[in-house]
Chains A and B, each alone.
Chain A
Amino acid sequence: MPDEIPIAETPNAAPVAQSASPHSAPASDRHRRDALALTIAAAAWFLPGLGHALLKMWGRALIFFSTVALLVILGAGMRGNIFSRNGEDAFAKLGYVADLGAGSFYFVARALETNGPDVSHSNGDYGTRLLATAGVLNMLAALHAYEVTRARKA
């Protein structure tokens, strides 16, 4: 066939490495990026703002840390309900998932709320919402850090 370029046999040539293939290099890079994105998301969840700090997005890191911290301090100070893992109904279990979204700050909230929750007043009810908001917001920030690492968002 005239279009084909003849390839000379080179018996002494070194075997072609796997990574030299045009398809394997981007795939391995993608796997590495996925692993990095998961690590950053886990860091962002564990300590609010840490994921963005690792990505050198200092403004976002500072804002997420301060916002989640303030929500947790206010929520615990207002004697909101911090759900535990032994939730009796679906709402308590959902509340636990939301609260746990704050990562290490979940335990900070538990430590701050020395007198226990008091949802008999509206203050305690608002506190419960603030604590859940802190967790959900932190999960959103962790998802954002994950997407940024995977180069899907700016």
Chain B
Amino acid sequence: MMSPHQFRLSHFQAMVIFALLISVAFGFLSRRGAYQRARYIFWSFILFLVIGVGIGWAMYPFSH
């Protein structure tokens, strides 16, 4: 039985949450101004996902 503080996430959910949190933190760390930060966060988030899914597909042939 899962305790109230326990989470079970799929691979994709874990990747999306990780990408979002890190993009936001890096955006606030490295950029000033709302527009610059939003731009950085958006692109960082998209690239995290695209590269993550890309690496996943690149490894697909080795798992079979």
Q: Contact residues of A with B, CB < 8 Å?
A: 59-60, 63-64, 67, 70-71, 73-74, 76-79, 112-115, 122-123, 126, 129-130, 133, 137, 140-141, 144, 154
Residue pair B9, A67 in contact (C-beta under 8 Å): no
Complex CA gap A132/B15 in Å reads 15
Task: Please report whether the interface of chain B is mostly helix, strand, loop or mixed according to DSSP.
Answer: helix
Residue of A nearest to B34 (CB): A59
Task: Please report the total number of B residues contacting A with Cβ < 8 Å.
Answer: 17
Q: Which residues of B contact A (CB under 8 A)?
A: 3, 5-9, 11, 14, 17-18, 21-22, 24-25, 28-29, 32
Give chain B nearest CB distance to A25 CB in angstroms.
Answer: 31
Alpha-carbon distance between A29 and B16 when the two chains are bound, in angstroms: 46
The closest CB in chain A to the CB of B32 belongs to A154
Q: Are B6 and A77 in contact (CB under 8 A)?
A: yes
Contact status of A74 and B6, CB under 8 A, knowing A59-B28, A67-B25, A140-B29: no
Q: Which residues of chain A are near B8, meaning CB under 8 Å? A: 78, 123
**Residues of chain A with a CB closer than 8 A to B28's CB:** 59-60, 63-64
Considering only CB atoms, which chain B residue lies closest to A59 in the complex?
B28
